[in-house]
Chain A
Amino acid sequence: MDHFLEQASTYAGSIDWLFWLITAIVGFWFIIAEIVFFGFIIKYRRKEGQKAGYVTGTKKSEKKWITIPHILIICCDVVLVVGAIKVWNQVKLDLPEADQTVRVISRQWAWIFEHPGPDGKLDTEDDIRTTEELHLQKGVTYHYELTSKDVLHSFSIPVFRLKQDAVPGRTIKGWFQPTKTGKFDIQCTEMCGIGHGLMPARLYIHDEESHLAWMNSHKTANGELLASQ
């Protein structure tokens, strides 16, 4: 899957691993089923003077062709469930200790991001508030606090393989740790009205040096931004 989309978070690889696990298992079943299906169609097409067999599917020797795949599918399902839950827990349930917290506020039709600023803490004077731009530092573990001011939105960063709906009245917590510098898309993936297609934001992942430079560039403008809230 990294062929289609870069991996830029610590858990992107886990989700891609799960993708390949599922692809291997369901791909196997899909191909087997289609081969047997088309094989039967070709082999048992109508031929003059040849009558079809009388197979009820109730004899033990016939039933085994259903029972054996049935048991195998249960085994595959167990593997898939274990894999899926493992990845889910890593991404959504077991939040590692955070170095910093960012606040993500969604509204019709904009993303507002509150960054902790140089002191590393939210709700202090040096917080940096931006619209449509999220600035993160590579290698830092972040918690995010996601809220919505009006309708449902969904916070999606494809390169992180992360997606989480924002629900008015709730603050939803999660985490990510960027692993690659660069500029990437942030999407809203929940229908939120006529501006739903106009909610693109950009993710900027910096190394330590450029992240510091970005924060410094905001120092002066910061007071005005806070005042204008």
Chain B
Amino acid sequence: MDASSTASSEQHASHDHGHHEQSFASKYLFSTDHKIIGMQYLFTGLIMAIIGGYLAYVFRMQLAYPGEPVPGYGIVTPGDYNSKVTMHGTIMIFWVAMPVLIAAFGNFCIPLMIGCDDMVFPRINRLSYQIFLLSAVILVASFFVPGGAFGGAWTAYPPLSSMPEYNLTPLGAPLWLIAVALEFVAFLLGGINFITTTMNSRAKGMSMYDIPLVVWMIVIASILFMLSVGPLIAGAVLLLFDQLVGTHFYDAGAGGDPLVWQHLFWFFGHPEVYVVLLPAMGIVADVIAVFSRKKFFGYKLALYTTFATGILSFVVWAHHQFIAGIDPRMTNLFTVTTLLISIPIAELCFLYIATLYRGSIQFTVPMLWALGFIGTFLLGGVTGIYLGANGADIFFHDTYFVVAHFHYTFFPIAIIGMFAGLTYWFPKMFGRHLNPTIGKIHFWGTIIPFNLIFLPQFFLGLAGQHRRIYDYSNFPELSTESLQHLRIVATTSLIIMLIAQVPFIINFFYSMFKGRKAEKNPWNANTLEWTADSPPGHGNWPVLPEVYRGPYEYSVPDREDDYWPQDEAPAAK
């Protein structure tokens, strides 16, 4: 085994040399290599995350100290505040969660984990990133146009979003819409690759049930995205026509209907929650199995449950619209479907917890993030019930309870899930180790302030504080001292959390170049990516691996090692 792997790495080296006469631009900017495209998505997503974090800092400061100039920004006007909130939401979901969780990890991991040399459509893959980059540039550019960036909330409900005389951002609103539409095109192209590659290019011997959960979940997320995004792109084009050409699709005065947009948006918008949730859950599933040295508890059950979640996610969208003026009888139906979706999600959480049972849990940095995901996501999950139950949503809709709830889901997904994946695959991505001590400081410096930001917001919501208000001093019931203290606690915690990201950034870049060199399989994991070099060369393997077993054969009785790589030929042979 040892001899053959040395031989293969030599072979690999010569194989690699054949591809090295590329210029910097063709290697890093116009590459069709899935790993480079994954990195491009990763770095673009991280830069956008910094912008999104800065926006959060600006508007949280305004909420804690209304009217005072924010250090590093200045006075926040009501229009500024709306733009900041809108762009924070848009960026964090469409330009951070999507590119990092699906595109970066999907691109990097799928070919490596299913044992093929690249995506089946590498050029479509490159086009996907280029369109995505364009969309990000357009979105960021919209901050600097006259009138400023769009401020009509990330859901962009017309007529506010469709009429410049109402939203007062005549350029910001169409640019926002164009950027979002382009971003969807980018992910459609990427999704085509993820689905076809996983279905067609798996290593010899890899059956459907040998695919690691993270790959499955990214593929299911891509399917959900492809099925749900069509209506929204159509809706976005209609909205763009309303904005620029003067049509009246959403104008009630001219026979249109503003509620149509809400249906088109949320028909996409709710599956979208699962589009970003599933890849994060997949990452966590793999990390938990590896670091508790356990077979994933009920792999097939998890898979079916995920499919059930995906299907159900298409029939729950109107729970965002209970009080929007839709037929009140219809909301009862959507309450039933919404509460039904709690069943598969709860079941997935149980499976994750059950995987820990009788494990041998190693508290590595990726494992801390994965456990942090479960611990916090549970709260995000259960608080959703208050909002899915139509009777209670009458009160909770558009309060800070909603804000706290979806940050308890999206933060674990987009940030905690991202760090779990990043710290887990970092040795494979860059061939070097991150510093684990700094990693642990970063973990605690993020997870504790995170809870202190959003726990107070549940109580603000219970007190009736509504969303997207730049200054609560106009509302006597909401401008009490105790509520203001809660706002200051949240803002202070946010600043601490943002500062805690500095050690990570230093660790990330220092380790990328100067970190301890990583061996092929530093975590003793089973899946195929750990059999390639760290970092893998062009083409990933000189000889594509063959698969003999499922991805989670850890601690198998009667074996000396507590892991059993998928490509290790059975001993009997």
Contact = CB atoms under 8 A, between A and B. Distances in A.
Interface string B244-259: 0000000011000111
B391 A169 contact: no
A133 interface: no
Contacts of A90: 391
Interface in B296-328: 296-301, 322-325, 328
Given A189-B467, A194-B79, A197-B78, A85 B332 contact: yes
B475 A54 contact: no
B469 interface: yes
Contact of A165 (B325, B463, B474): B325
Interface residues of B, number: 98
A77 B464 CA distance: 26
A15 B478 contact: no
B359 A52 contact: yes
B347 A70 contact: yes
Interface in B456-492: 459, 462-464, 466-471, 474-478
Given A4-B459, A152-B258, A58 B379 contact: no
A21 to B, nearest CB: 9
B135 interface: no
B187 interface: no
A151 to B, nearest CB: 4
Given A70-B343, A187-B475, A81 B336 contact: yes
Contacts of A54: 295, 554-557
A29 B462 CA distance: 21
Contacts of B296: 57
Given A77-B342, A163-B394, A197-B81, A52 B253 contact: no
A65 B257 CA distance: 49
Interface in B249-306: 252-253, 257-259, 292-301
Nearest to B252: A169
A125 interface: no
Interface stretch (A113-121, A136-144, A154-162, A216-224): A154-162
Nearest to A23: B386
A184 interface: yes
A197 B473 CA distance: 10
20 contacts: A5-B462, A18-B392, A22-B389, A26-B385, A30-B378, A44-B357, A44-B359, A53-B357, A69-B347, A77-B343, A84-B392, A91-B394, A93-B328, A163-B323, A167-B258, A185-B476, A185-B478, A193-B160, A194-B151, A200-B474
Interface in A163-190: 163-170, 172, 183-185, 187-190
A42 to B, nearest CB: 9
A173 B395 CA distance: 17
Contacts of B258: 152, 167-169
A73 B346 contact: yes
A5 B292 CA distance: 45
Given A37-B356, A168-B258, 20 more contacts: A19-B386, A19-B395, A26-B386, A33-B353, A40-B356, A41-B361, A44-B357, A44-B358, A55-B354, A57-B295, A81-B389, A88-B328, A151-B163, A167-B258, A185-B477, A189-B398, A189-B467, A191-B157, A191-B468, A200-B474
A198 interface: yes
Contacts, number: 291
A36 B257 CA distance: 49
Contact of A156 (B336, B351, B466): B466
Top 6 closest A-B pairs, CB basis? A169-B252, A87-B391, A158-B464, A53-B358, A57-B298, A84-B389
Contacts of A163: 323, 394-395, 397-398
A190 B392 contact: no
Nearest to B395: A161
A119 B463 CA distance: 37
Nearest to A93: B328
Contacts of B471: 197
A168 B323 contact: no
A45 B146 CA distance: 57
Given A52-B562, A54-B295, A198-B78, A152 B157 contact: yes
B539 interface: no
A91 B358 contact: no
Given A4-B459, A54-B555, A184 B477 contact: yes
A74 interface: yes
B52 interface: no
Interface residues of A, number: 90
A88 B394 contact: yes
Interface in A48-94: 50-58, 62-63, 65-66, 69-70, 73-74, 77, 80-81, 83-93
A92 B557 contact: no
B374 interface: yes
A51 B293 CA distance: 8
Interface of A: 1, 4-5, 14-15, 18-19, 22, 25-27, 29-30, 33-34, 36-38, 40-41, 44-47, 50-58, 62-63, 65-66, 69-70, 73-74, 77, 80-81, 83-93, 108, 150-152, 154, 156, 158-159, 161-170, 172, 183-185, 187-198, 200
B375 A34 contact: yes
Contacts of A84: 335, 339, 389-392
A31 B555 CA distance: 30
Interface centre among B79, B298, B322, B464 (most CB of A within 10 A): B464
Contacts of B257: 169
B346 A185 contact: no
A188 B160 CA distance: 14
Contact of A73 (B168, B342, B478): B342
A192 to B, nearest CB: 6
A18 B340 CA distance: 18
Contacts of B475: 185, 187, 200
Contacts of B350: 33, 65-66, 69-70
B298 A4 contact: no
B453 interface: no
Contact of B159 (A38, A66, A168, A197): A168
B521 interface: no
B451 interface: no
Given A58-B298, A77-B343, A30 B379 contact: yes
Nearest to A44: B359
B331 interface: yes
Given A22-B392, A74-B343, A191-B160, A51 B382 contact: no
